[in-house]
């Protein structure tokens, strides 16, 4: 497919009903709705939710055009900004143009590939310390909610590694509060008309209270770090040291709070979801799990995984890639065109919303054989890749792709072998995993597993 200017065609569209259009279909079963419209109407589909027109794009060429070639014409969409800004402030996820570029320049060095080795030892240590507690569960036949465990584990890693923070028991509150707020933002995103937070409804009062809790914790974290006067290579330090090139001004605590909250939330919850889905998939595919255990055993024996081991653990990487294909934690994201644009024969008007869904793209039958099958071998580096590069976008692509990609991959590459060295999980009988489509795709109510010690 080439993107060129030709006569305009009407973008295919499912029937829409009444004022709300396709809203209830999208709200109740987003995965089914998007899969159905893309298989029935093709790789570009227009639908409507209330007064807003949405263009759902599901082809690598379209993805390239929106996120790379013509990316300057596409901003974060207004609805996302309106609903996420009260929560995240002016952070990397909620800004565009110069403000965004400056924030990205400040944070980028912390995620540079040459910094990764420094974080690896901290990640391995935090993992080993955290998973010790599962021993009790293994000895006493307790059931673990893997989703909760992965949230704690990834927060235990991300908070000290990137922000120099000590994770105390109070962080349980942080996890809960982020969960509540994430669900609230996700609900607001698919509710065309929402009341601003200053309107004193009981829901808004709760949301405001949750925001105050987060603010209190993050400001305390900044104050504690300033007091220690450490000079570590981490995000907190980069933010505190950052100076405006023109004025020499440093960032205010409010600006630092916005970056920290954005990166914390974007960092631990996504990785926790990815790990939860991966262990769920392993529990359903014992032959893959055995192959993975063989790699861990032959490469590491009983030694903890290190940074140097990562390139050798090829199958581990393939399993992660395939798991991110089937269950990409950021399952959908949006942009809004500033100026009208053309995609091949189609016109995209300004101020509409463009949706791109890694979840649906990763299961497109034209680009993936047996797309719903869990088959890590598709990512075997020894075989020639059969998929188009942009049909696989768990971390997005282009200038606004995930800044934490290398860090997230490394976390998973160190956590998974360490867990396999010590434990085996068994999904409890008859447990039905449900999908929750919030900002992240995560297991609704968690994943309940029996844990067995293998050490």
* Site for ligand HEM contains 271 (CB under 6 A): yes
Residue, CB closest to ligand HEM: 404
* Site for ligand HEM contains 274 (CB under 6 A): yes
Q: Which of residues 157-186 bind ligand HEM (CB under 6 A)?
A: 158, 162
- Tell whether 402 is in a known binding site: yes
Nearest approach, Cβ of residue 275 and ligand HEM (Å):
8
Nearer to ligand HEM, 259 or 421 (CB): 259
Nearest approach, Cβ of residue 18 and ligand HEM (Å):
30
Q: How many CA atoms lie within 13 A of 303 on its CB side?
A: 10
State the Cα–Cα distance between residues 278 and 78, nearest whole angstrom. 33
Query: Which listed residue (14, 35, 102, 104) binds ligand HEM by CB under 6 A?
Result: 104
Query: Which listed residue (55, 277, 315, 395) binds ligand HEM by CB under 6 A?
Result: 395
Q: Could you write out the DSSP letters of every residue in 234-249?
A: SHHHHHHH-B-TTT-P
| HEC readout, 399-455 | CCCCCCHHHHHHHHHHHHHHHHHHEEEEECCCCCCEEEECCCEEEECCCEEEEEECC
* Site for ligand HEM contains 130 (CB under 6 A): no
* Site for ligand HEM contains 60 (CB under 6 A): no
Query: Which listed residue (266, 300, 319, 353) binds ligand HEM by CB under 6 A?
Result: 266
State the Cα–Cα distance between residues 195 and 191, nearest whole angstrom. 10
* Site for ligand HEM contains 69 (CB under 6 A): no
Nearer to ligand HEM, 92 or 343 (CB): 92
Contacts of 189 (CB under 8 A, 6+ apart): 79, 80, 83, 439
* Site for ligand HEM contains 261 (CB under 6 A): no
* Site for ligand HEM contains 325 (CB under 6 A): no
* Site for ligand HEM contains 400 (CB under 6 A): yes
Query: Which listed residue (60, 89, 404, 446) binds ligand HEM by CB under 6 A?
Result: 404
How many other CB atoms are found less than 10 A from the CB of residue 193?
6
Bridge-based pairing of strands 346-348 and 341-343 is: antiparallel
State the Cα–Cα distance between residues 319 and 275, nearest whole angstrom. 11
State the Cα–Cα distance between residues 108 and 88, nearest whole angstrom. 19
Listed ranges 117-125, 241-249, 336-344, 393-401: which one lies at the site for ligand HEM (CB under 6 A) = 393-401
354 SS3 class: strand
Where is the binding site for heme, in residues? 402
Interacting residues toward ligand HEM by CB under 6 A: 92-93, 104, 158, 162, 262-263, 266-267, 270-271, 274, 328-330, 333, 394-396, 400-404, 407-408
């Amino acid at each position: 497919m080439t993107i060129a200017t030709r006569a305009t065609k009407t973008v295919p569209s499912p029937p829409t009903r009444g004022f709300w259009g396709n809203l209830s279909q999208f709200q109740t079963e987003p995965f089914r709705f998007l899969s159905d419209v893309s298989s029935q109407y093709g790789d570009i589909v227009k639908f409507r939710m209330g007064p807003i027109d949405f263009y759902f794009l599901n082809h690598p060429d379209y993805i390239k055009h929106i996120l790379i070639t013509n990316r300057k014409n596409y901003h974060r969409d207004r609805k996302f900004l309106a609903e996420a800004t009260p929560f995240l402030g002016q952070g990397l996820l909620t800004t565009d143009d110069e403000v965004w570029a400056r924030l990205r320049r400040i944070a980028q060095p912390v995620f540079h590939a040459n910094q990764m080795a420094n974080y690896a030892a901290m990640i391995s240590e935090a993992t080993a310390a955290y998973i010790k507690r599962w021993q009790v569960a293994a000895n006493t036949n307790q059931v673990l909610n893997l989703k909760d465990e992965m949230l704690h584990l990834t927060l235990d890693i991300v908070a000290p590694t990137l922000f120099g923070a000590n994770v105390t028991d109070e962080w349980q509150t942080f996890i809960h509060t982020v969960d509540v707020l994430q669900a609230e933002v996700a609900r607001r995103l698919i509710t065309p008309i929402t009341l601003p937070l200053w309107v004193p409804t009981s829901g808004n009062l709760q949301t405001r209270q949750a925001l105050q809790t987060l603010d209190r914790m993050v400001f305390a974290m900044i104050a504690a770090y300033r007091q220690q006067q450490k000079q570590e290579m981490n995000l907190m330090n980069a933010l505190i040291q950052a100076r405006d090139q023109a004025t020499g001004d440093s960032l205010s605590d409010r600006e630092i709070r916005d970056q920290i909250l954005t990166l914390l939330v974007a960092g631990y919850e996504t990785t926790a979801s990815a790990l939860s889905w991966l262990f769920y998939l392993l529990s359903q595919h014992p032959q893959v799990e055995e192959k993975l255990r063989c790699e861990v055993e032959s490469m590491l024996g009983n030694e903890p995984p290190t940074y140097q081991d990562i390139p050798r653990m090829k199958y581990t990487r393939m399993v992660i890639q395939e798991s991110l294909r089937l269950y990409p934690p950021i399952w959908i994201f949006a942009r809004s065109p500033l100026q009208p644009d053309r995609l091949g024969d189609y016109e995209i008007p300004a101020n509409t919303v463009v949706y791109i869904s890694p979840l649906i793209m990763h299961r497109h039958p034209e680009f993936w054989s047996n797309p719903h099958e869990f088959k890590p071998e598709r990512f075997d580096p020894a075989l020639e890749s059969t998929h188009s590069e942009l049909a696989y976008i768990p971390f997005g692509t282009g200038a606004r792709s995930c800044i934490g990609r290398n860090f997230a991959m490394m976390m998973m590459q160190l956590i998974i072998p360490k867990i396999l060295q010590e434990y085996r999980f068994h999904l409890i009988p008859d447990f039905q995993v449900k999908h929750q489509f919030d900002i992240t795709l995560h297991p609704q109510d968690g994943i309940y597993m029996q844990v067995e010690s293998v050490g």
